[in-house]
């Protein structure tokens, strides 16, 4: 019933991956489970062998399991770490064949077509896989078959069975929904052979074509290639030196040799480095690192190289440096663009370089930019953010002019609620030549601000005869005149 195929696949089922990931670092002989929270209830979804021997079932609540197994140990689920660990195993499995794909959240599929003879045959290859995985504390079930689906079915439901007995596997081996498997069992379809014996048209009408596709895949009538997304490019370069070096010029020359291929690789992938890490290894195996954080993604070696000079000057070469390693640890998308020839375009390209140069001395968080904020209150009409970690916003949209120089309110000594004919400020006697106003600004009631407890303010723009052009306001609730800014 199984179609003969020249393709060969291995399925690896790491049936205790979440618990094995933790227990291989912290071994224990006690029952251990992994639980995840669903609808405010902790449910068990992975267990070690001791917990299985204690009759702890998957899907059981953690409280019920602890009630009859007082010594039960548990840990919260961490799907992100599990996925990262599975990816590590996938990369390791590429020692057996070049095509390895992740299958679900706890499995791998290997396309070993034409590669088994390098290990002495399929049996020897499976034995080597089991030996290495179990040596590091991982439980694994594996099988080899002519199709990817058949290998998965044997690993999950018939490990050790001959490939010819695949039709006798349970219907769940087709990788179908559990509810569909229950429905098929209720009508007497319990194995793959039972389903294959049924007329295809009625099965498709009742259960859809997906069920027949799964059947054809496991029997080899429909191809199912193994495909995995290519690994992301690694932006790292290393230079091993035949003779130790120690001068700053030699180190800078080595960085220059590494920067060119690194930037070429960034350009080929339309990417730019935001953080570059330089690791300097001495002959006594001591390492020093220089982290260069850029204000914007860059890939121009001529502009990046001088930024390393300050950090290199602080390196202690000791008895000599024998290795340099340069790695772009943070990479962002940077599409290729046509550079402009006008001054504005050149200024836009040089500004991040200027900020990066300042950031190497002051730290990037200390190079700030002002951004507009949506508030009528003068003190809240702007915000300050680090230049390297913020984006410029649209132009400032003020309906009325605001002073360039803004400072905390200072009293202007005057005795009248109307605009005074003269007043004293900073020891000067001033008199208005012309004035524009008032502009009433009310405090934002949802902010607690001690400076605005006096209530609303009536602002005036006053040009004095003595020269200063001031921004004044009057507080009706607590009568008094104040000056808060000066126009240019």
CA–CA distance from 432 to each of 190, 439, 465, 483 (Å)?
Answer: 98, 17, 6, 13
The pLDDT score that the predictor gives to residue 5 is 54
Q: Is the peptide bond before 438 cis (omega within 30 degrees of 0)?
A: yes
Structure tokens at 33: 């489970």
Report the top-level CATH class of 240-333: alpha beta
- Tell me which residue of 359, 409, 430 sits closest to 388, measured CA to CA: 359
Query: Counting beta carbons within 10 angstroms of the beta carbon of residue 185, is it exposed (0 to 12), middle (13 to 18) or buried (19 or more)?
Result: middle
Q: Which residue has the tokens 């916003």?
A: 393
The pLDDT score that the predictor gives to residue 392 is 76
The pLDDT score that the predictor gives to residue 344 is 44
Q: Which residues, including other chains, have CB under 8 Å from residue 387's CB and lie 6 or more apart?
A: 295, 355, 364, 367, 368, 369
d(CA 361, CA 307): 10
> 0.75 cut: is pTM over it?
no
Q: What is the DSSP letter of 171?
A: G
Chain centroid to CA 197 = 49
- Tell me which residue of 16, 9, 17, 51 sits closest to 31, measured CA to CA: 51
d(CA 464, CA 414): 15
The pLDDT score that the predictor gives to residue 107 is 94
CA–CA distance from 221 to each of 1, 89, 103, 216, 298 (Å)?
Answer: 10, 30, 21, 5, 51
The pLDDT score that the predictor gives to residue 357 is 79
- Tell me which residue of 164, 320, 147 sits closest to 247, measured CA to CA: 320
List pLDDT tens digits, range 248-259.
Answer: 999 999 999 999
Q: Which residue has the tokens 């001495």?
A: 282
The pLDDT score that the predictor gives to residue 301 is 92
Domain boundaries, the chain: 1-231, 240-333, 405-487
Q: Does domain 1-231 have CATH number 3.90.1150.10?
A: no
Q: Which residues, including other chains, have CB under 8 Å from residue 176's CB and lie 6 or more apart?
A: 210, 211, 214
On the CB side of 7, CA atoms within 13 Å amount to 22
The pLDDT score that the predictor gives to residue 343 is 45
Residue 152: how many other CB atoms lie within 10 Å: 26
Query: Rounded to a whole number, what is the largest CA-CA distance in the chain?
Result: 107
The pLDDT score that the predictor gives to residue 338 is 64
The pLDDT score that the predictor gives to residue 86 is 95
Residues of the chain under the 50 pLDDT cut: 1-4, 342-347
d(CA 410, CA 482): 5
């Amino acid at each position: 019933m199984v179609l003969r195929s020249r393709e060969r696949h291995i399925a690896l089922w790491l049936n205790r991956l979440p618990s094995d990931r933790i227990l291989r670092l912290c071994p224990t002989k006690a029952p251990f489970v992994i639980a995840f929270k669903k609808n405010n209830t902790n449910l068990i979804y992975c267990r070690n062998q001791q917990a299985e021997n204690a009759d702890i079932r998957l899907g059981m609540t953690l409280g019920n399991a602890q009630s009859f197994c007082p010594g039960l140990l548990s840990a919260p689920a961490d799907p992100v770490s599990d996925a990262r660990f599975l990816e590590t195993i996938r990369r390791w499995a590429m020692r057996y064949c070049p095509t390895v794909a992740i299958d679900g959240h706890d499995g791998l599929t290997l396309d070993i077509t034409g590669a088994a003879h390098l290990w002495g045959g399929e049996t020897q290859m499976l034995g080597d896989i089991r030996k290495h995985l179990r040596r590091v504390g991982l439980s694994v079930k594996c099988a080899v078959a002519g199709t990817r689906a058949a290998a998965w079915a044997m690993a999950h439901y018939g490990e050790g069975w001959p490939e010819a007995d695949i039709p006798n596997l349970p219907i769940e081996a087709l990788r179908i929904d559990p509810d569909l498997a229950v429905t098929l069992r209720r009508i007497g379809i319990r194995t793959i052979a039972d389903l294959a014996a049924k007329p295809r048209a009625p099965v498709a009408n009742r259960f859809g074509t997906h069920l027949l596709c799964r059947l054809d895949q496991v029997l080899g009538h429909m191809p199912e290639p193994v495909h995995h997304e290519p690994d992301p490019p690694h932006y790292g370069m290393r230079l091993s030196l035949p003779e130790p070096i120690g001068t700053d010029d030699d180190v800078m020359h080595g960085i220059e040799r590494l920067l060119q291929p690194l930037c070429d690789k960034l350009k080929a992938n339309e990417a730019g480095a935001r953080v570059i890490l330089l690791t300097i290894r001495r002959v006594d195996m001591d390492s020093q690192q220089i982290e260069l954080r850029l204000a914007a993604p860059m890939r121009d070696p001529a502009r990046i190289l001088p930024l390393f000079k300050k950090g290199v000057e602080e390196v202690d070469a000791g008895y000599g440096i024998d290795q340099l390693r340069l790695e772009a640890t943070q990479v962002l998308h940077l599409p290729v663009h046509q550079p402009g020839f006008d001054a504005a375009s050149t200024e836009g390209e040089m500004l991040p370089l200027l900020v990066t140069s300042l950031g190497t001395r002051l730290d990037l968080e200390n190079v700030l930019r002002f951004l507009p904020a949506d508030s009528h209150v003068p003190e809240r009409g702007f915000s300050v953010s680090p230049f390297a970690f913020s984006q410029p916003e649209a132009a400032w949209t003020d309906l009325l002019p605001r002073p360039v120089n803004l400072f905390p309110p200072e009293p202007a000594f005057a005795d009248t609620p109307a605009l005074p004919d003269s007043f004293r400020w900073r020891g000067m006697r001033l008199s208005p030549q012309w004035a524009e106003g008032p502009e009433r600004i009310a405090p934002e009631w949802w902010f607690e601000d001690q400076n605005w407890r006096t209530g609303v303010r009536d602002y005036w723009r006053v040009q004095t005869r003595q020269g200063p052009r001031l921004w004044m306001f009057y507080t009706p609730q607590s009568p008094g005149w104040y000056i808060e800014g000066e126009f240019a």
